[in-house]
Amino acid sequence: SWVKHLTTDTDSATEGMQVAGEIYPMVGTEGWLLLIAVVIWLAWHIATGNGEAEEHKKLSRKSPGANAHKNNISEW
């Protein structure tokens, strides 16, 4: 299996190089990258929510009331 292959200690002089080093770039940074992504995601949603709440407050101040549409009935 590949786990046995990667964890078996062999003599590199007779067997050749088994594991040259990192299998992919930036090994070990996955946790930090995930943490950064979660922080950015939360900040984005908080900023968007605050902006939309402010916009809704402005729109609600413009609205005269729930029954204002009754006064806009045209004369037939």
pLDDT tens, residue by residue, 50-73? 999 988 888 777 766 777 777 766
Answer whether 12's CB lies under 8 Å from 20's CB: no
In a domain, 4, yes or no: no
Answer whether 10's CB lies under 8 Å from 18's CB: yes
Going by C-alpha positions, the residue among 15, 18, 23 that lies closest to residue 5 is: 18
- Is the entire prediction scored with pTM above 0.85? no
In a domain, 51, yes or no: yes
**Model confidence pLDDT, tens digit, residues 7-56:** 666 666 666 565 566 777 888 899 999 999 999 999 999 999 999 998 88
In a domain, 13, yes or no: no
In a domain, 43, yes or no: yes
In a domain, 53, yes or no: yes
Quote the number of domains for the chain.
Answer: 1
Task: Report residue 52 as tokens.
Answer: 């939309």
Number of Cβ atoms within 10 Å of the Cβ of 63: 8
In a domain, 47, yes or no: yes
In a domain, 37, yes or no: yes
Which residues form the domain of 52?
29-62
